[in-house]
Structure 1
Amino acid sequence: MGPLEELGIRPVINATGPWTRMGNTAPSASVRAAMDAMSQVYVPFAELQAAAGRAIVAATGAEAGYATPGAAAATTLAVAACIAGEDPRVMRALPHPEGVPATVVLFRQHRSYYDVAIRAAGARLRLVDAAVPDPLAALAAAIDAEVACVFYDATGLPYRDQAGVPDLAAVVAVAHGRGTRVVVDGSMALPPADNLRALVATGADAVSFSGGKAIGGPPASGFTACRQALLRSIALQHQDADIHAELTGRPHPEAPYMGIGRGYKVGKEQIAGLIAALADYAARDHEAERRQWHSRLQTIEAAVAGVPGLTRRMLASNDGRAPYLIMGFEGPLAGVSSAELSRRLLAGEPRIFLAPRAGNVLWAGAENLRDGEAEIVGARLARVLADLAPARS
C-alpha cells in the first residue's frame, strides 16, 4: 500500500496548472535528490541562504536574493523591510508599526485576497484607481511621507487583466521619483521565463517569485529578488537575530530577539531544492514546453469538439505565457454550472481537476499534465458533458 492509500486519499490529474490547492508542481529528480541530500546533513543556515542568494542573483540579475517558504512570504518580508529598515524598535513592533511610514500604495485593479501578504507586515493600504485619464499622475499624488512603498501585481492573463494599469517600469520611475520603493508580486508572472529578469530589470526594489510553480521547485518555496539594503533588513527579521551578522557581516547591536520573519522560515531541504530548480529552469527549453502544453490542450479540445453547446477558446498561446483552454456553456448546455462540472470530474475515477472560474467558465491548463493524461481528461470531460446535456435540454 502506498502513502496516499494509507491516508485514504486518491491522486488527482491536474488539468489546470500549478495551483497551491492541488499541490503546485512535481519536482524533478534533480530537485528531489538535492532535497534528500540536504536532509541528511547539517549546515550553517546563513551559508545556505547566501548560496540561495547567489543562485537567485544569477537567475534574476538582482542585487541580492533570499529564499522564503513561498511568494506570499517573500512579499510580507519585503514590505516589512520597507517599513522597518534596520530599526530594531520598529522590527519589534511589527505588525503594529508606530511613528514610521507604513502605508502601501497600489492600484485598485491590483487588489485581491492575496494582498493579505502586504497587510500581514502591518501595512495600511492606499488605493489608486488606474481607470482615470492619467493613472501615473494619480499614483504620484498618492505617494506622501506616510508611504513605505508601492505594491505592483505583475500577474498577467489569464489570471489578471492589466488593461489600463501602467506598466511596471513606468510605476517604478514614478515611485523612485517620489522617493519610495516598489515591491512586486511576480508569483504568477512565469511563464514567460524572461520575466525572471525582466521584472527585476525595471528597477523594482523587490520582486517575489514562487519556487513551487513554473520554476518546479519544492511547493513550499519561493524567494525575493531584491536590493541589498532590503536583504539586510529581511535577514535581521528572519529566524534568529544573529543570522544577520552571519549573512551580511554586519552585526547589529540592538537586534530584536525575533522578528516578524520568524514565522516565514524555510527549511534547508526547500532551499537546496530551490537552488537546484533554478539551475534546471535556466536549462529548460521553454518554447518546446509551451508547444507541448498547447498540443495537449488541442487533444482535450478535439475530444470535446463535437459536444453541442460547449464554447471553446485558446488563450495566451503565442506570447510566451502558458496556454489555457477556456470552455463555456450555451444552447443545450445553458444552465450548466462550471462548479458542478468541476465537482463531478473531481469525484469520478480517475479524479480530474479542471478549475471553475468567474463567468461560469472552465479552465484547462497543461503545465501539470503527464504523457497520456490529456487523452484521459478529454474523454472523461466529453462523457460528463454528455450526461449533463439531456438534463438541461
Structure 2
Amino acid sequence: MPSRKEVLKMLSALPLGAAAGSHIANAANRKRDGAILSENGKANRVMGDEAFRNIGVEPVINCRGTFTIIGGSLERPQVRQAMEAASQSYVQYDELAEGIGRRLAELTGAEWGMVSAGCAAAMKHATAACVTGGNPEKLIRIPDLTGFEKTEVIIPHNSRNAYDHAVRNIGVDVITVETEKEFKLALSSRTAMIYLLAGRTGPLGLKNVAKMAGEYDVPVLVDAAAEDLTIPNAHLRDGATMVCYSGGKALRGPQCAGLLLGPKHLMQAAWQASSPHHGPGRDNKVGREEMMGMLAAVEAWVKIDHEAEWETWLSWLDTIDQRVSGIDGIDTVVEEPSLPGMSHPGALAPISNHSPRLEIHWDPDRLHVTGPELAEQMARTKPRIVVGSGTDDEAGTSYITITAWMMQPDDAEVVAGRIHELLSKKRSPRSGDMQAPAARLTGRWKVDMQYYAGRSEHVFFIEDQDKNWVEGAHQGDFTVRDIGGTVEGTTVKLLSTERLPGDRVTNIFTGTLSGDGNSISGKVFLGEYLTASFEATRQPKSGDREPISVPEGPPLAT
C-alpha cells in the first residue's frame, strides 16, 4: 500500500496540460501521462477504500453500472482537477453561469447550456422555466400556481417514472396520456411542457410528440440521464426543446451535478430558478466546484478516444470470460450494443447505459444456486462485488451479468477469481420439500407498521392457503393490493407492492409466527426505502350471526 507521502508525490506529478512536440513525442507523453494517471488512480482508490473502512463501511466493486446508490461513476481526473482549482477562488455565480453556458454551447452545438445539482434538478428547473417564463413574481409563488397561465405538464404513460417527482415538485398538474388521440386532446393553452424519457418510440416517441407540441409552441424536455452525450445532440435534432443529463453517469462528471441543454431564453429562466437564487430551486444548490467540474467533463468527453475506451472494457470482460468459461456447465456471451460509426459489432441500440456486458449462464438445478442468490452472496461477502442477475425461464437457466463501463483497471482479475471460486463450489442438491406450516393463516390480521418516525395500521386479508402457499389482500394507508407468500414452520414471508404511475413501494415481510398461531412479528424490507418492523395480530371472527331478510319490493322509506 502506498504511503501518504507516496500518494502526495503521485498527485503532484499529475499533468495539468498536454505537452507540445512531435507526433512521436506526443505519443510518448500520452503513454507517460497514462501511467501517471493509472498510478494516481490506484493511490486515490487506496485512500478512498481506507476512508470508508475507517468509519466501518466496506466499499464495493462496481460491475453493475451507474446506479447512484452505489456511487454512480468515478470522476475523470480532469474533473477532479477542475473542481480542486475552482475550490481555491471566489467567483460571482451568475457570471460563472454565463461563461459556462457560452462554452457548453460551443462544445455541444446546443444554443446554450446550464449546470444543475443533478439531472433531477435540471428537470425541476426546466419545468419552472416553462411555468414562469422567467418571471420572478411567479417563481416565488411556486408550488401555488393559482393565477398562472401555464399549469400542466403532459407525460406519456410509458415515460412516467420515479424521477418525474422533480417535475411535480413545481406544483403542476401532470396529465398522463396513453395514445396519440389522448395527447392531442390534452394539449391546450395551459400546457407548460412535455416530458419524455429518452428512447421512447412510436406515436408518443420524440419525433411525433415534438411535431404535435410544435403546433401549440409547447417545449419538450427529454430526460437522457444515463445516455452518452451525442454531438450534434440527437434529441435536439429530433425535435426536443431541451435535454438533460446526469453528471455522474456516462459523462463521469461530478456525481451531484447535471447538464441541461437548450435555447438560451429557457436556460436563463431555468438558471433563475436555480440556487443561489431564492425560490423553489434554492434547495438544489450547485457550487462553483460542480459547475466547473461538469464543464470539464464535457470538455473531456469531446476529446476522449471512445473506441479505445470500449476496447479496454472488452479486455476486462475477456479476462473474466477466460477465467470462468472453463467451468463445466457454464456458458458465456458478451453483448455489445453499438452506435452508427462505431466499428465494434452488435445491433444498433439505444445510447443509455451504453456498455458491453458479459452474461454468465448456467443450469441452477445442476450447480444448485441461482443467479440472484449468487449475486446476493457476492454483494454481501468480501470482496464485495455488485453484479446484475436474473433467470431465463424459457431457456431454463440462471445468470449473472458483468457491466464493464464503471469498472476500474484492477477489478477484472479480482472479479474473475471470485466468480470462478463461487461457481466452482460444490453445493448439495436442493430439497424440494417445504417444512409443514405451523398454522393456517387464513383470516383477517391487524398489522401494526412501525416506521422510523411513525406508525400506521394496515390489514392483511389472507383469503386462501394451499399447504405452504398463501394469498390475499393487503390494505395499506391508501390502497388495497394483492399479497402472497409462504409459511414454512413458523417462518412467514409475504410480498405486496404499492403502485402509482412512475412509482412503487415493495413490501417484503419476513416474520415469525407465535406459538398459538395468532401473531406474527418481524421486519419489512422496503427496497430503496430501507426497512420497517411489523406486528400482525389475527382478528377473531365476528360472533354475530343474524338471518338476512330479503325484501319483497322497493323500499317504503329511506
Q: TM-score range by the shorter chain?
A: 0.7 to 0.9
Deviation at 1:153, TM superposition (A): 0.6
Computed over aligned residues only, the root mean square deviation of the Cα atoms, in angstroms, reads: 2.7
Q: Contact 2:368–2:429 (CA<8 Å) still a contact in 1?
A: no
1:296 partnered with 2:296: no
Q: Which has the higher contact order (CA 8 A, sep 6+)?
A: 1
Identify the residue that residue 452 of structure 2 maps to in structure 1: none
Change beyond 3 A, Cα 1:276–1:163: closer
Q: Deviations over 1:82-121 (max 9, x none)?
A: 1122233331221232233322212211222122122122
Whole-angstrom distance in 2 between the partners of 1:109 and 1:98 = 29
Q: Could you tell me how far apart the structure 1 residues matched to 2:223 and 2:75 are?
A: 22
Is 2:283 the partner of 1:266?
Answer: no
Label 1:165 to 1:333 Cα distance change in 2 as closer, same or farther (>3 A): farther
Counterpart position of 1:234: 270
Output the amino acid matched with 1:194.
T
Q: Is the 8 A contact 2:368 2:427 kept in 1?
A: no
SS in 1 for 2:233: helix
TM-score (norm 1): 0.83
2-side partners of 1:356 and 1:229: how far apart? 45
Cα distance in 2 between the residues matched to 1:273 and 1:114: 24
Structure-1 separation of matches of 2:362 and 2:135: 56
What is aligned with 1:132? none
2:167 aligns to what?
Answer: 118
Task: Tell me whether 205-214 or 5-14 shows the greater mean CA deviation.
Answer: 5-14
Paired residue for 2:423? Answer: 385
Task: Please give the per-residue CA displacement for 1:1-39, whole angstroms capped at 9, x wherever unaligned.
Answer: 842232222222111222211212222222211111111
- In structure 1, what is the Cα distance between the partners aligned to 2:305 and 2:389? 30
Q: Is the 8 A contact 1:234 1:261 kept in 2?
A: no
By percentage of residues, which structure has more strand? 2
What CA distance in whole angstroms lies between the structure 2 residues aligned with 1:147 and 1:389?
60
Structure 1 residue aligned with 2:302: 282
SS at match of 1:261: coil
Cα gap change, 1:16 to 1:117, in 2 (>3 Å): same
Name the CA shift for 1:96/1:67 in 2 (closer, same or farther; >3 Å).
same
Secondary structure, in 3 states, of the residue corresponding to 1:65?
A: strand
Measured after TM superposition, the shift of residue 227 of structure 1 is 1.6
Instruction: Judge conservation of contact 1:311–1:330 (CA < 8 Å) in 2.
Output: no
Cα separation, 2, equivalents of 1:10 and 1:46: 40
**Is 1:56–2:104 an aligned residue pair?**
yes
Structure-1 residue corresponding to 2:365: 332
* Unpaired stretches in structure 2, ≥5 consecutive residues: 1-46, 343-353, 393-397, 432-558
Query: How much does 1:187 deviate?
Result: 0.6
Judging changes above 3 Å, is the alpha-carbon distance between structure 1 residues 305 and 231 closer, same or farther for their aligned structure 2 residues? same
> Displacement, 1:310?
5.4
1:252 alignment partner in structure 2: none
The answer as to whether partners of 2:236 and 2:243 remain within 8 angstroms in 1 is yes
Q: Per-residue deviation at 1:267?
A: 0.9
Corresponding residue for residue 222 of structure 2: 184
String of CA shifts for 1:231-284, please: whole Å, max 9, x gaps. 23222222344xxxxxxxxxxxxxxxx221111120111111111111111100
Which stretch shifts more, 290-299 or 13-22? 290-299
Give the secondary structure class of the aligned counterpart of 2:307: helix
Of stretches 86-95 and 107-116 in structure 1, the one that deviates more from structure 2 is: 86-95
Q: Distance between the aligned counterparts of 1:311 and 1:137, measured in 2?
A: 47
In 1, are the aligned partners of 2:203 and 2:209 still within 8 Å (CA)?
no
| Gap change, CA 1:369 and 1:304, over 3 Å in 2 | same
Higher mean C-alpha displacement, 167-176 vs 296-305:
296-305
Bigger helix share = 1
Displacement of 1:166 in angstroms is: 4.6
Alpha carbons of structure 1 residues 87 and 47: separation in structure 2 relative to 1, 3 Å? closer
Distance (whole Å) between structure 1 residues aligned to residue 371 and residue 232 of structure 2: 33
Aligned length: 364
1:366 CA drift (Å): 0.7
Q: Among the aligned pairs, what percent are the same residue?
A: 30
Give distance in 2, aligned partners of 1:335 and 1:230. 57
Q: In the TM superposition, what is the alpha-carbon distance from 1:336 to its structure 2 partner? A: 4.5
Provide the C-alpha distance between the structure 1 equivalents of 2:239 and 2:337, rounded to a whole number of angstroms. 28
Shift of residue 347 of structure 1? Answer: 2.2
- Asked if 1:172 corresponds to 2:210, the answer is yes
Q: Provide structure 1 residue ranges, at least 5 long, that are not aligned to the other structure.
A: 130-134, 157-161, 242-257
Is 1:175–1:181's contact at 8 Å kept on the other side of the alignment?
Answer: yes
Which residue number in structure 2 is paired with residue 103 of structure 1? 152
- 1:255 maps to none
In the other structure, the counterpart of 1:376 is 414
8 A Cα contact 2:109 2:231, kept in partner: no
2:383 pairs, out of 350, 358, 366, with 350
Aligned partner of residue 368 in structure 1, secondary structure: coil
1:84 and 1:347 map into 2 onto residues whose CA distance is: 48
Of structures 1 and 2, the larger Rg is shown by: 2
Query: If the length of structure 2 is used for normalisation, what is the TM-score?
Result: 0.60
Q: Is the 8 A contact 1:294 1:317 kept in 2?
A: no
Give me the whole-angstrom Cα distance separating, in 2, the residues matched to 1:237 and 1:337: 49
From 68, 75, 81, the counterpart of 1:33: 81
